[in-house]
Amino acid sequence: MATDIRIDYYPTHEQQGIKFRRGHVLPFGATMVPNGINFSIYSSEAIDCTLVLFERGEAEPFAEIRFPEEFRTGNVYSMIVFDLDYERLEYGYRMDGPFKPEEGHRFDKSIILSDPYAKAIGGRDSWLAKPNWDNIYPYRSRLVFEDFDWENDHPLETPIEDLVIYEMHVRGFTQHPSSNVKNPGTFAAIRSKIAYLKDLGVNCVELMPIYEFDEWENSKENPVTGGLIVNFWGYNTVNFFSPKSGYAATGKFGMQVDELKTLIKELHKNGIEVMLDVVFNHTAEGDHRGHTISFRGIDNKTYYMLTPEGYYFNFSGTGNTLNCNNPVVRNMVLDCLRYWAADYHIDGFRFDLAAILGRDQNGAPLSNPPLLESLAYDPILAKCKLVAEAWDAGGLYQVGSFPAYGRWAEWNGKYRDATRKFLKGDQGLVGEIAQCIQGWPDLYHYRGPTASINFISCHDGFTLYDLFAYNEKHNEANGENNNDGGNDNHSWNCGVEGETDDPFINQLRHKQVKNALAILMVSQGVPMILSGDEMGVTKSGNNNTYCHDNELNWVDWGLLDKNSDIYNFAKHITKFRRAHPVLRSRTHFQHRDYVGSGYPDISFHGTQAWQPDFAPSSRCLAVMLDGAHAKSGTILDDSIYIALNSHYDALFYELPTLPNGQSWHLAVNTDMPSGEDIYAIGNEPRMDDQGRFLVGGRATVILIGK
């Protein structure tokens, strides 16, 4: 806090003993100033604004101060109020103006509105603690201390191609009793699992939404199980600047900010980046039937895309669409991301349904969307990873064509579909698998392989294990007669739908999970795995578990024992990737020898060396990466040979000859039992037969030449 008190920090007005004066228009939100708090809020159409002040948790406000007309500058109301207890304070606004939905206005001064720029929200302090439904102000804006001691912490700025991303849900990761942690389901509990994350070999955690949301939203009794259906995933933001209090063990003390920052600081100390899954496509206010929390009552027309009749466009599939390319909203998004990057040291952002961010105010796709461009060129976000989910629920699918400005990467949905289909044995996939291995140059010719976030499973859809245990989705527990969730799962149950005692089927499932992990970790681009997949987690065939606060979403740590072979494979294959720079190129392969090693940087093979079979009937592909070309020839790595066989029969693969003095060593063979399926770095046995290798049916073999 500044010690030199400005001479104009004196009150000019007083009401009920509360002293105040005209405030600063910027920054928006509530900020501490000497002896007081500066409040500033925007509304283009309100005719009157009142600041409402509560003592923390009290039913009624202790003061309501109308902004005098002279406190308004343009469309911004600002005021400094003196001598407030900023730790105990909760504040909100009443906005007066027309209620004319057909013209886009939905003002209602009887409602107390949350500040879009609040830095913490009170009201859902602990997860699923029963709220007072009669609360006149349920989501209360609060201030936070901004004096966290980061010491020398700094975002890690790991090159994106060197990341192994681990997508996790804060609560789901440790809420299961088997997690064996203090404060399960919280930021603090993730901190106690850092050693595990390091052992697994991931170096970036992508947290599913942690902006304040209401888990009670649309909650109801589950007609199937009798339990409670809640909003577990949290893709429904109440406030963009506030961390979810219910994810903090100390949320009940209002210290969620410190707890989250402490987690980030510790992750950074251990070389693990933090990426946030951010949801700027819609808010928790829903459609015209939804409740008014903030944006709708402050400036409906500014914050939302509206139809000519004044209803809400629904490109998000959740009721409303944030008006991202309105200049005011665009600035809010920018302010928000800057705040998270600067104040929370966040390393990157993954944008949910990001195609919406490229639509204009009427919903039409823009060729040069100002928001995406602003984010790409922002000086504060300059080193942050920007990752798009390049589609939306309105039918815009931009994988490969998302406006990238040299910065944006994207979730590669085509990678997911191609690898799934190849693994289940579909024909005609060899060409696409070759694209997958290369970081899909056909899609990202100019952007390079780092534009491709490769994944086979994520929170949406089947877990990796379920891909090989279920042909069909089983979403009955969601209470929508199995009508929700996608039907294009590209999964294969290996012979029996669901759990089975058949050892052959279980062995095959484990092998398929390992095949998937192996393909993912040897593909150029950036691999992402779903939390729990490393131990074969199952959601019992449910592919849309957004609403379950139970075992369907809680990682069962007991699986580390039950599926120890999968975990052992996973942690070695991530380390294999991280040990071999030839797997992590920044630029696409050139399919030629440009360093004079005698081998092209990448070459394709089949059951015969140098003769790949791209025919529609083929299910075989082998790839050789020349170690002399690692990182564009700047680093000398081992050469790597990858043999993929999705045919059900074992086949001999003829091996390409290595330069004199080098020989092939076995790193991975998913056809072998645990202990012989993957070898630690440096322990790869030399192969007796250097001429050919029998690759089992539905198996993956990886050799290194050294």
For the CB of residue 148, give the shortest distance to another protein in the complex, in Å.
8
**8 vs 85, which CB is nearer to another protein?**
85
Place of tokens 């009157």: 48
Angle of helix 413-423 versus helix 430-438 axis, rounded to 10: 130
Place of tokens 């501490």: 32
For the CB of residue 259, give the shortest distance to another protein in the complex, in Å.
5
**95 vs 274, which CB is nearer to another protein?**
274
Query: What is the 3 state secondary structure string of 7-57?
Result: CCCCCCEEECCEEEEECCCCCCEEEEECCEEEEEEECCCCCEEEEEEEECC
DSSP label at residue 566: H
CA–CA dist 1, 212 (Å, integer): 27
**252 vs 562, which CB is nearer to another protein?**
252
Beta bridge partners of 51: 65, 93
CA–CA dist 204, 345 (Å, integer): 13
Among 389, 392, 466, 637, the active-site one is: 389
**184 vs 527, which CB is nearer to another protein?**
184
For the CB of residue 24, give the shortest distance to another protein in the complex, in Å.
24
Determine contact, residues 325/364, Cβ cutoff 8 Å. no
For the CB of residue 185, give the shortest distance to another protein in the complex, in Å.
13
C-alpha distances in Å from residue 159, one per residue of 55, 577, 584, 637, 640: 47, 14, 10, 18, 22
**52 vs 120, which CB is nearer to another protein?**
120
For the CB of residue 345, give the shortest distance to another protein in the complex, in Å.
13
Determine contact, residues 39/76, Cβ cutoff 8 Å. no
**4 vs 85, which CB is nearer to another protein?**
85
Determine contact, residues 173/459, Cβ cutoff 8 Å. no
**127 vs 470, which CB is nearer to another protein?**
127
CA–CA dist 706, 704 (Å, integer): 6
For the CB of residue 433, give the shortest distance to another protein in the complex, in Å.
46
The values of phi and psi at residue 473, to 5°, are -70, 155
Q: Which residues sit at the interface with another protein, rule CB under 8 A?
A: 85-88, 145, 147-149, 183, 186, 188, 248-250, 253-255, 258-259, 261-262, 265
Cis peptide before 659 (omega within 30 of 0): no
For the CB of residue 145, give the shortest distance to another protein in the complex, in Å.
6
Among 352, 392, 466, 626, the active-site one is: 352
352 given a catalytic annotation: yes
Determine contact, residues 446/521, Cβ cutoff 8 Å. no
Residue-wise over 442-457: b if at least 16 C-beta within 10 A, else e? ebbeebbbbbbbbbbb
C-alpha distances in Å from residue 230, one per residue of 110, 216, 221, 547, 549: 28, 6, 9, 5, 7
Three-class secondary structure of residue 122 per DSSP: strand
For the CB of residue 265, give the shortest distance to another protein in the complex, in Å.
7
Three-class secondary structure of residue 131 per DSSP: coil
Determine contact, residues 502/508, Cβ cutoff 8 Å. no
For the CB of residue 138, give the shortest distance to another protein in the complex, in Å.
22
410 given a catalytic annotation: no
CA–CA dist 625, 602 (Å, integer): 5
**268 vs 588, which CB is nearer to another protein?**
268
Angle of helix 564-579 versus helix 503-522 axis, rounded to 10: 20
Beta bridge partners of 213: 237
**268 vs 296, which CB is nearer to another protein?**
268
Q: Which residue numbers are catalytic?
A: 352, 389
